[in-house]
Amino acid sequence: MSEMTAATPQLLRRVSAGAVLDFMRASQAVTVTEVMEATRLTRATAIAVCEDLMERGWIRELENQRAFGGYQKGRPARRFELNERAGYVLGMDVGISKATVVVSDLRGKALGRASQPFAGAEISAGERVAVIDRTAMMALNGVGASPDSVLAVGAGIAAPVDRNGNVLVTQHFWGLFDVGLKAALRDLRGWTVLLENDANLAALGDRWRGAAAGVDDVVVILASERLGSGMIDGGRLLHGRGGGAGELAFLDMVDGVGDTFGITYLARAWAADALAGKAKTSLRTHAGEIVEAEQVFAAAAAGDAVALKILDRLADRMARIIGAVATILNPDLVVIGGAVANSAGVLLEPITERLTEFTVTPPRVAVSPLGDSIVTVGAVRCALDYVEQNALDLELAAPA
């Protein structure tokens, strides 16, 4: 009983500090009175908590200013705000051919970005880690941040990852990403690395700052070269037993689909097939070159018959895919994400028109505005979630 009583004041201080910090994150400059109203703390407690958080570096006090244009009796109100540069988080997108790292402040603002290619798909785990580390250091150096100021790292890979950050290695391709990244960066830099599937992070990112903002039941499909999906049900990201929730290998058995190739890959492949024949098309101006998806979309917009046929095939295929996903999960919204989303808006109307042919529970369909940043945005959100949940246990490298 005495132990419980002795622990209570410390617990109350921790709860109070967490509540104040949560309020600061969602606000700009605030007064002590506003802190009291938001957290229901007494003035004395609110002031004590703000001063403690300020001493630890999480918030800062702003210079007092009188009300504009008039005389004001008494001392001006003390104002505080989150110190968004108290530390940084990193968002990583680790693909098969390159690594991209974004540096973000504690409000989620991207400050810097760097990308580096891998020498090849079959390089060693050590070589892959070295490229990722070098890319991270380039991004940090670009904004003048030290490795010690990194509070958490979110990292997305193109393989299933379970709730504990373990890679599901049941096929060779997924095994290429099982390079011990968490342990390696902890040993090299002392960083906490939160490993996730890239499509899962895409779902987190789009729900945070994309077309799915505020939507609790959503599937985000990365649709560029290969298809993968992240699924959020009732506001909760789904992993499955081994991290395989959202994997779309079952599309091999869906009529009219048959594989997991994405929009970018198929637009390029189908354009090549058309050019190999005798069809008259403006795409022939690119003879001798690989016709990319963006060129197909542009030609279709100009009325090219071959390009329009490719778009019709893509719309039919995506309608079948979204119909299958909607039948299984019944989301409110399906978002098409990845670099191809910049061009895929033209597919929305024909996809929506056909959805009722493939599911009795058709969702809304949208394209993500985040483009090829969708994974790093989600990785930043993942890292920020960790920092926000553990802030009172984290030691800042250089308190303000």
Q: Over its length of 400 residues, how does the chain's per-residue pLDDT go in tens digits? A: 444 444 567 788 889 999 999 999 999 999 999 999 999 999 999 999 999 999 999 999 998 754 444 445 556 788 999 999 999 999 999 999 999 999 999 999 999 999 999 999 899 999 999 999 999 999 999 999 999 999 999 999 999 999 999 999 999 999 999 999 999 999 999 999 999 999 999 999 999 999 999 999 999 999 999 999 999 999 999 999 999 999 999 999 999 999 999 999 999 999 999 988 888 899 887 656 788 999 999 999 999 999 999 999 999 999 999 999 999 999 999 999 999 999 999 999 999 999 999 999 999 999 999 999 999 999 999 999 999 999 989 988 754 4
Is 379 in contact with 370 (CB distance < 8 Å)?
Answer: no
For residues 343 and 298, give the distance between their C-alpha atoms in angstroms, rounded to a whole number.
9
Q: Residue-wise over 38-47: b if at least 16 C-beta within 10 A, else e?
A: bbebeeebbb
Strand-pair category, 30-31 with 88-94:
unpaired
Instruction: For residue 94, list its beta bridge partners.
Output: 99, 157
C-beta separation of 317 from 323 below 8 A: no
Residue reference for tokens 């299958």: 324
Classify the C-alpha dihedral 233-237-241-244 as positive or negative: positive
**pLDDT, position 398:** 57
How many Å from the N-terminal Cα to the C-terminal Cα in the chain?
39
Identify the pLDDT of residue 11: 80
Residue listed under structure tokens 């580390």: 133
Compute the distance between CA of residue 115 and CA of residue 3 in angstroms, rounded to an integer: 52
Give the pLDDT of residue 130: 97
The Cα–Cα gap between 73 and 274 comes to 79
Residue 69: the pLDDT is: 44
- The span from the CA of 390 to the CA of 92, in Å, is 20
**What distance in Å separates the CA atoms of residue 315 and residue 312, rounded to the nearest whole number?**
5
pLDDT number for residue 10 = 79
Q: Which domains does the chain have, with CATH numbers?
A: 2-82 (1.10.10.10), 88-202+375-393 (3.30.420.40), 211-369 (3.30.420.40)
Confidence at residue 288, expressed as pLDDT on a 0 to 100 scale: 67
Place of tokens 């890979």: 157
Alpha helices for 152-248 (secondary structure H): 172-175, 181-189, 198-209
Instruction: Look at residue 194 in the predicted model and tell me its pLDDT.
Output: 98
23-36 CB burial, b ≥16 within 10 A, e <16:
bbbeeeebebebbb
Spell out the alpha helix ranges (H) of 293-335.
293-301, 305-329
